[in-house]
Amino acid sequence: MNIHRLKKRLKHTCRRLLRRIKRRRKNKTGTHRIGYGGVSSFRELRALLESSRMFYTGYVVIVTMLCILLSQTRPNSQFRKWYFALTNKETVNKGVEVENEVKSTSEGVGQFLTFYRYYKFGATDPMDVDPNAPMIALTFDDGPSAEYTDRILEVLAANYSHATFFVVGRQTEQFPDKLQDILAYGCEIGNHTFDHKNLTELSDNDIMQQIGDVNQSVMNATGEETTVIRPPYGAYDDKVMGILDKPVILWDVDSEDWKSRDVQAICDKVLSEVKDGDIILMHDIYDTTAEAMELLIPKLKEQGYQIVSVSEMARYKGKTLELGNAYGKIAE
Ligand code: ZN
């Protein structure tokens, strides 16, 4: 092909293309004229709106971020907590574990499990005691007291449990209504002497008076006799045994609540030593004991222990509590 011809043809094609582009541009700006304040086309208006929307969104985002950052400068802010949790994972996890443990031994959980156990597995009466299943007797000495006896009774009732309260005369005279509460909750009243005296150091007459005065006080308040005796300090000898007219109850597990006055220590001590047939020593005169019971009783129920009074445990286990014997536990 001739080079001149090719040149001419290329020139022609280029011109034709240019003309076509010009025509298309003219068509586009020629139509859709809106004439809105300097915006000459719908497309330009849309572009403008789009760019301003972007601008406002950006503005809102930046201001929000600034506000959040400013609020996080406070020492208790979420950001700081999050950062602390991230950098102290081990400590935080340990804390969470402890918190969960406390929650799992809480009264609420225990009650729920108790209800669940009974209703799920179809026993008709939650107060029913299975003589072949493990059971223990909780005992509370030195009361009754203004506040804590009722608090403990409430927890016992919430967990279908009973206990024995070994009362002292100076308290029974002061709180006769608490004695009525103890019996109303299905619990048992034991005799712990009038003045919390060591019986081995008393004369025969004094021993009889220490025991008799409490009996009279309980009888006046409730119309009922005490059923068992716990000599103060667990102290007795043959002479004392010869005088006492009710079975003598000691203990197998000492919660040491009077010594530790610590909720966790009381729970740990009992949980680490408890077994079937045990009699557990506590005192319903301390705030910490009442609080410990709110954790411990549901926990013991969860572990499958039926919680009964001393006389009930003897009855369910088919044992007769005999005079002249001191019982630390009631074994099969
Ligand atoms: Zn005592």
Are 284 and 165 a contacting pair, CB within 8 Å?
yes
Query: Containing H/E element for 283?
Result: strand 279-283
> Does pLDDT of 37 surpass 60?
no
Pick 317 or 26 by higher pLDDT: 317
Q: Distance between CA atoms of 264 and 190, rounded to whole angstroms?
A: 27
Class of CATH domain 104-327: alpha beta
Q: Which residues pair with 137 in a beta bridge?
A: 279, 308
Tell whether omega for the bond before 75 is within 30 degrees of 0, i.e. cis: no
Distance 241 CA to ligand 1 centre (A): 18
Distance 141 CA to ligand 1 centre (A): 5
- pLDDT at position 311 is 96
> Does pLDDT of 107 surpass 60?
no
Q: How is residue 92 written in tokens?
A: 């935080």
Distance 11 CA to ligand 1 centre (A): 121
* Top-confidence range, 2-16, 28-42, 49-63, 311-325: 311-325
pLDDT in tens, 219-278: 999 999 999 999 999 999 999 999 999 999 999 999 999 999 999 999 999 999 999 999
Q: Is 305 helix (H, G, I), strand (E, B) or coil?
A: coil
Residue 320 DSSP code: P
Of 49-63, 108-122, 167-181, the poorest mean pLDDT is in: 108-122
- pLDDT at position 120 is 44
Distance 327 CA to ligand 1 centre (A): 16
Which distant-in-sequence residues (6+ apart) come within 8 Å of 193 by Cβ?
168, 169, 199, 210, 211, 214, 231, 232
Of 34-43, 210-219, 225-234, the poorest mean pLDDT is in: 34-43
Band (pLDDT 50/70/90 cuts) for residue 92 is low
> Does pLDDT of 111 surpass 70?
no
Distance 220 CA to ligand 1 centre (A): 22
- pLDDT at position 152 is 97
> Does pLDDT of 31 surpass 60?
no
Query: Containing H/E element for 315?
Result: helix 310-316
Q: Is 164 helix (H, G, I), strand (E, B) or coil?
A: strand
Are 144 and 188 a contacting pair, CB within 8 Å?
no
- pLDDT at position 106 is 44
Mean pLDDT across the chain, nearest whole number? 85
Look up 283 and say whether it is catalytic. Answer: yes
Band (pLDDT 50/70/90 cuts) for residue 47 is confident
Look up 257 and say whether it is catalytic. Answer: no
> Does pLDDT of 6 surpass 60?
yes
Neighbours of ion ligand 1 (CB under 5 A): 141-142, 232
* Domain-wise residue ranges, the chain: 37-87, 104-327
Distance 233 CA to ligand 1 centre (A): 6
- pLDDT at position 134 is 93
Distance 230 CA to ligand 1 centre (A): 8
Which residue is catalytic, options 4, 141, 162, 238? 141
Distance 232 CA to ligand 1 centre (A): 5
> pTM for the whole thing?
0.65
Distance 214 CA to ligand 1 centre (A): 14
Which residue is catalytic, options 142, 150, 257, 283? 283
pLDDT in tens, 155-208: 999 999 999 999 999 999 999 999 999 999 999 999 999 999 999 999 999 999
